[in-house]
Amino acid sequence: MVGADPQATTTEAVREAEKPAPSARPGGRPTRQQAAQLGEKILAVATELFLTRGFGATSIEAVAERARISKRTFYHRFADKADLFRAVVHRLLARWLPPFEAELYEAAPREDVLRRLAGQILAVALTPEALALRRMLLAEAQRFPELVRIMNEQGAVRGIELIAGLLAQEARAGRVAMGDPHFAAEQFLQMVLAVPQRRAMGFGEKMTQAELQGWADRTVALFLYGCRYEPG
């Protein structure tokens, strides 16, 4: 799973978004399909601008101009820039989370599930889009704390809850000893992500695919079995 193909790039999405929108039906009112296409166009443009310019330097005017819409059309869909960012995060997570969730519901030994899950977490978190989003949040968090709250509510909290659910099932079945599955899920996520993510962002040498696979395997082993003593 660590070597999974990355998601389609934002740049490609923007190229599609910058194509002229289909004409509305007679009477000027767009069809449902045209409305959906316009919404996707706005979000593709906003994603590219947020991730390259940052939240503070991206204006509603810039989004409207790049998407070739009026500000009136923008405000018909979004209350403000924070609302637009929330929609962008939701759009990204809609692409990232389904493979992650699929691993959780796979019928397999817990160690295999956690290994594949760790690989999927790394495959998503180390994509250019995910790294750009993290850089933006780190840069903008002090000025715009609501961005961190939005990302946490829509992404991290949901992921932790899903992992905690799996661990709680294992605990109820007597396969693991775990008093607080939510705490354990938080620690698992940090163990998997912290070092590879930091190195991918330039703080150290970026891990190879083979190193990432080994990292995922060793992390799961440490998480499940700790530092227990095994006599020679």
Residue by residue, pLDDT tens for the chain (232 residues) are 454 443 444 445 445 445 554 444 555 567 888 888 999 999 999 999 999 999 999 999 999 999 999 999 999 999 999 999 989 988 988 888 887 777 777 767 888 889 998 998 999 999 999 999 999 988 888 888 888 888 887 777 888 888 898 889 888 888 888 889 999 999 999 999 999 999 999 999 999 999 999 999 999 999 988 876 666 5
Report the top-level CATH class of 10-24+31-81. mainly alpha
CATH 3.30.390.10 assigned to 91-225? no
Based on C-alpha coordinates, what's the Rg of the chain? 21
State pTM to two decimals.
0.75
CB 113 within 8 A of CB 106: yes
Q: What is the predicted pLDDT for the residue at 231?
A: 60
Q: State residue 107's pLDDT score.
A: 67
Positions of CATH 1.10.10.60 in the chain: 10-24+31-81
Contact between 130 and 96 (Cβ < 8 Å): yes
The three-point CA angle 20-14-7 to 5° equals 140
Q: Name the segment(s) of the chain with CATH classification 1.10.357.10.
A: 91-225
**pLDDT at residue 209, as a whole number:** 94
Quote the CA–CA distance of 88 and 13 in Å, as a whole number: 13
Cα–Cα distance for residue pair 189/126, rounded to 1 Å: 14
